[in-house]
Amino acid sequence: MIAQVTVSIPRMTDDVDETAEQPQPRPPRGRPSLLAAVAVVVAFVALAVAAWSVWRLQRATRAEQAVHKQDAATIETLQNQLAAGNQQAQAGNQRISALESRLDDLRTTAQGLDRRLGNLVTAYATLSGQQQSGHDTLLLNDAEMLLRTGQQRIELFHDSTGALKAYSQAISVLAQVQNPAYEPVRASAQTERDALAAAAPPSRQAALDSLSALRGKVASLPLVSAESAASSAPPQKPGFWSRVGQAFSGIVKVSHDNTQQQPVDAGFARQMLSLDLAQAQEALLAFDDDTYHAALQRADATLAAQFDTPESGVQDARARIANLLSQHGGPPPKLGGALAQLQALRASQPAAAPAPSASAGRAQ
């Protein structure tokens, strides 16, 4: 914007002419020169102000023209950039359209893959169910065989150790079955195993070991001598014929050598003691408490009658027998409940593909 400045310069000549025409009084002397000087100064100041205003105006005009040129250049640059941006936008729209088209294709492909994945998951679930069923069938076959083995070992051989091992393996196998319907079977098997362990405590094995040690020491136990038997025999009141014999003993004296004769045969006494101890072992393995206690009592009676009781070895043997007599073993538990429950559950479950048993003889 260009500022317009109007400078008014007094016209001195016209005023002078106009005043010259009119008669005026004569001014005082010396005032015209002062007014002329002031007018010159004012005119000079007005010219200076006008020149300065013109210079400022020209300078502002040039600055405005420069700014106008710069703005025009900026506008042209912006127009060029806008045109380039429009071209890029058009290219971007075309790429977006292409990407949207490809995205639609990808969505269609993804939907197809999702359907295939769903089919695969269904097939995998079916296969897993079949595999789990086959795995459970194999485990249940093993568990049934182990439970039957433990029951037969108790009934046929009275082998509590083997039965405990078979039941422990059966419980471990049943714990791996993933079907929760067989959890009561495992609980029943655990109950039967606890009853079996209570009927065959570690003291039963200790009793068997003690009987074996006693049988090994039978050959070294000393038998009672003739003098000891005579001294230990209770005195008897002499009868009529004894008194008659004592009366005639001074007239006729009959004697014979009997120094080599023993009260009983040594081999026979030791064999009887060994047989009683062996019978006690068999009765203990067969859970026959009556026969077990009777055999131990016979062995103790044989030790008291046929062996040297004051000797330390005989006393130790009698003390062991007394300790064994004081122990009471429980009756054999009744097994087979867990096996029957397992067979009933398997009969009620849907039939599955049979699987061969791989550990039928692990408890043997």
Q: Report d(CA 358, CA 141) in Å as an integer.
A: 9
Q: Position 152: which residue type? A: Q
Q: Return the exposure string of 44-67: e unless at least 16 CB atoms fall within 10 Å of the residue's CB, then b.
A: eeeeeeeeeeeeeeeeeeeeeeee
Domain boundaries defined on the chain: 202-223+264-328
Predicted local confidence at residue 208, as pLDDT: 85
Separation in Å, CA 105 to CA 74, 96, 98, 342: 45, 14, 11, 57
SS3 helix, strand, coil % of the chain, rounded to 5?
75, 0, 25
pLDDT at 235 over 50: no
What distance separates the 2 farthest-apart alpha carbons in the chain? Answer: 233
| Residue range 272-284, pLDDT digits in tens | 999 999 999 888 8
Split at pLDDT 50, 70, 90, the class of 142 is: very high
CA 218 to chain centre: 56
Q: Which residue has the higher pLDDT, 166 or 32?
A: 166
Task: Look at 100-104, 120-124, 300-304 and tell me which has the smallest mean pLDDT.
Answer: 120-124
- Which pTM does this prediction carry? 0.43
* The amino acid at 70: Q
Average pLDDT over residues 317-335: 80
Residue 260's pLDDT band (boundaries 50, 70, 90)? very low
Provide the pLDDT confidence category of residue 237 given band limits of 50, 70 and 90: very low
- Using the predicted structure, report yes or no on whether residue 135 has a pLDDT greater than 90: no
For the cut 60, the answer to whether the pLDDT of residue 249 exceeds it is no
pLDDT score recorded for residue 201: 56
pLDDT at 311 over 60: yes
pLDDT digits (tens, 9 = 90+) for 14-36: 444 444 455 555 555 556 688 88
Give yes or no for residue 250 having a pLDDT over 70: no
Q: Cα–Cα distance between 157 and 77 in angstroms, integer?
A: 109
Arithmetic mean of pLDDT, 251-272: 56
Output the pLDDT for position 127. Answer: 66
The winner for highest mean pLDDT among 58-62, 129-133, 206-210 is 58-62
Two structure tokens written together for 321: 């027998």
Please give the Cα distance from 204 to 159 (Å, whole number). Answer: 12
pLDDT of the residue at 30? 52
Q: Are 289 and 244 in contact (CB under 8 A)?
A: no
Side-chain-side CA neighbours of 345 within 13 Å: the count stands at 21
Instruction: Give me the chain's average pLDDT, please.
Output: 77
Residue 262 has pLDDT above 70, yes or no: no
> Has residue 134 got a pLDDT over 90?
no
Q: Using the 8-state DSSP alphabet, how is residue 155 labeled? A: I
Statement: residue 186 has pLDDT above 70: yes
Q: Average pLDDT, stretch 97-122? A: 87
pLDDT tens figures, 299-308: 999 999 888 8
Q: What is the pLDDT of residue 24?
A: 55
- For the cut 80, the answer to whether the pLDDT of residue 41 exceeds it is yes
Percent of the chain with pLDDT over 90: 24
| Whether residue 350 has pLDDT greater than 50 | yes
- Over 80: is that where the pLDDT of 203 sits? no
DSSP three-state, residue 261? coil
DSSP 11-51: -HHHHHHHHHHS--PPPPTTHHHHHHHHHHHHHHHHHHHHH
Residue 223's DSSP bridge partners are: 307
* Mean predicted confidence (pLDDT) in 39-62: 91
pLDDT at 276: 92
- Given pLDDT bands bounded at 50, 70 and 90, which one contains residue 13? very low
